[in-house]
Amino acid sequence: MSRLDRCYNIADMREVARRRLPKGVFEYLDRGAEDEIALADNRAAFKRMKLRTRFLVDLSERDMGTELLGKRAELPLAIAPTGIAGLTWYQGELELAKAAAAKGVPFTLATGSITSMEKIAEVAGGRLWFQLYMWKEEELSYEMVGRARDAGFEALVVTIDGGLGNNREYNLRNGFTVPFTITARGLTDMSLHPRWLIGVMFRYLATTGMPRHENYPEKYAQRITRGPGERPMRHTAMTWKDIDRMREFWPGKLIIKGILREEDAVAAVEHGADAVVVSNHGGRALDSAAPTIDILPEVVAAVGDRTTVILDSGIRRGSDIVKALALGADAVLTGRATLYGTAVAGQAGAEKALSILATEFEKTMGYVGCRTIDEVSPDIFAKPPVA
């Protein structure tokens, strides 16, 4: 029995990924900011919501799919942007994108990925979204967005909560920063994980060389081990005027990610957003950020009848998806769950992670008496969720 066969849920995949990956790589994808309060609260908020069952409903015909931004998705789910995928598995972004295409859900390619958007579009296909951190050098941001447009990406996900960076002390302790710092501790950590070292890093070195940020403009598309002072600066002066300009430039769907208050959701719609993502960056930015599932109802009340509302941060079970839908979300993003799968077995692992979530989702839907996502309502809760 393979490692993948022994994974029965996302937690199992996380444990296999923890053992397979160097500590620095694993903790970069797995942990949160500072004291990891937001990371824990995201999960705790889902766990405190209890559901009521409904039986004697004909469940012989069920459809778990939905229309998401004008196209069919086989689940109300999209893969969140995760810049570390290419270091969990050789060409991990490509493996993850192929898994998403096979399962009929959108895949979001992160700005900082190490597989080019052109290769993703050519090889993986499927529904592709591109995530953007706006840079201080705005013309370079538009250069990347223009490439995504020309490659056929259908949506642009502008992340608005990353301008100030983050405070993740464990990355510094592990020597896992971007650009990467080569230390004796880090090299020892890698050598203690030979399957990863040979299957990922040595494979890059033997084929394309040390990985680069392939979607960065040439000025910054350097090896991930290049020294400090050669990174693009985030756009800390970004305002809604920048969203207006991007809306004029980008012809496809525009998604604003990082919403945690209703007035920002309203502003996003007024400035041309086709969707908003209620997100606290998976607990990786502001450590005292509110759980997104607690903020979701006010965002839905404010803009749910005018735009697509997507819930991000904390999805680990199919039941979490049902709870988000019941509170008015049209879909969810999942990042860590499918990254664990990618780290275990590439495309096959990511597909299994999606299959696990789909099975749990469909089973939970059946238990609460719903045959389609249109039937999901707050009535499924044992009592109204409270913060």
Asked whether 314 and 292 are in contact (CB, 8 A), the reply is yes
User: For this structure, is 271 an active site residue?
Assistant: no
In the chain, DSSP finds a helix count (H) and a strand count (E) of 16, 10
Query: CA 381, CA 368: separation in Å to the nearest integer?
Result: 9
CB crowding 63-80: b at 16 or more within 10 Å, else e: ebebebbeeebbbbbbbb
Asked whether 124 and 91 are in contact (CB, 8 A), the reply is no
Task: Specify burial of residue 150 (Cβ count, 10 A radius: 0-12, 13-18, 19+).
Answer: exposed
Asked whether 286 and 38 are in contact (CB, 8 A), the reply is yes
Asked whether 96 and 79 are in contact (CB, 8 A), the reply is yes
CB within 8 Å of 358: residues ≥ 6 apart: 64, 74, 75, 103, 318
Secondary structure of residue 12 in the 3-state scheme: helix
Query: CA 107, CA 223: separation in Å to the nearest integer?
Result: 25
Name the residue among 98, 117, 97 with its Cα closest to residue 107.
97
Name the residue among 280, 276, 342, 331 with its Cα closest to residue 307.
276
- Hunting for tokens 């992670």 — which residue is that? 353
Would you list the DSSP string of 29-50?
HH--STT-HHHHHHHHHHHT--
- The number of residues making up the chain comes to 387
DSSP 331: E
Catalytic residue numbers?
Answer: 281
